[in-house]
Amino acid sequence: MTNKKNTARSILITGCSSGIGYRAAHMLRERGWQVFPTCRKLDDVEKLRAEGFEAFWLDYQDNGSIESALTQVLDITNGKLDALFNNGAYGLPGAIEDIPVQAMRDQFEANVFGWHDLTCRVIPVMRKQGHGRIVQCSSVLGLVAMKYRGPYNATKFALEGLTDTLRLELHGSGIQISLIEPGPIRTKFTQNAISMFFKEIGEDGLQRSHFRKIYERRLKHMSKGGASKFKLEPDAVVEKLIHAIEAPKAKARYYVTVPTHLMGVLRRILPYSILDKVLLKASDSEE
C-alpha cells in the first residue's frame, strides 16, 4: 500500500453511511485527500457533515441527486476531480422466480444505471484535465453466481462487463479504471438485505414460495450476521482502493478475501459441472 499523502487530490465516494464507504472517507481524509462522501439518506449526510466532511445527498435511483451532488463538488474543486469511488449498492435475496420485475428494475437502477449515470458525468471532467481514477466496488458475486442472490449477481456481472468495456475505451485518455472485488466484509449489507427481502417479497411471498423452508432457514442465519468465516473488516477493501487511486499504475482488478481469490482461480480451471458443485455447497454454507 502506498504511504505517500496526497494533499491536493480530491475524491467523490458514494454509499458512505457505513461500512466500506464510511471507512474509505475517513481513511482517505487521514491521508490528505479532499474527500466528498455521499449518502442516499439525509440523516447520514448530516452525520458526516458533523464529522467535518463536505458531504452531499446522492441516491443512485434519483438522477437529480446525482447531477446536484456532482455539481456541488465541482463548484468546490473549480471543476476538477481526481477520483471517483462508486460504492453504494444493496442486495435483494430470494430465488429468481420470486423476484418481482419492478424489484429487479430497482436493483439495476441502484447498482448499475445510477453508477453509469455518475461515471459518464465524471469522465468528461477527467478527460479535460488529462487524468483521473475511477474505482468500481464489485463483488465475488461478479465473478461467480450463487443461489438466492440472483438480482445482486446479475448487477455485479453487468458491472464487470461495463467496467471492462470502459477500461478499453478509456485507454490512452489518462483515466484509469479498476474493479475491487470483495468477498465477505463486515458491514450492514446482510441486515439491509433482510429488509429488502421483506419489502419486495414479503411475508405473503415467503409463505407462497416453493423455497419457503429454505428462506426461513436462511433468514434466521442472516439475522445472526450471515457467514462469518473469512469475513474481513471494511479497511481491507479501502487498502485496495488506496492502491487503485495512488499507485502510478492501477490494477484492473483487486481481489479482497480468501473466497474471492479462490473463486477467481476455480472459475478459470474447473469445468462447469464441478464448479457448480462447489458453488452449490458455498451457497448453502452457514459457516
CB 122 within 8 A of CB 67: no
- By the 10 Å C-beta count (0-12 exposed, 13-18 middle, 19+ buried), 278 is classed as middle
Pull the grid cell for residue 148.
Answer: 438466492
Pull the grid cell for residue 247.
Answer: 499507485
Q: Which of 22, 60, 148, 152 is catalytic?
A: 152
Q: Where are the alpha helices (DSSP H) in the chain?
A: 19-30, 42-50, 63-77, 101-108, 114-129, 150-169, 189-200, 202-208, 212-223, 235-246, 258-269, 272-284
Q: Any catalytic annotation for residue 152?
A: yes
CA distances from 94 to 60, 160, 197, 218 (A): 22, 22, 7, 10
- Active-site residues, by number, are 152
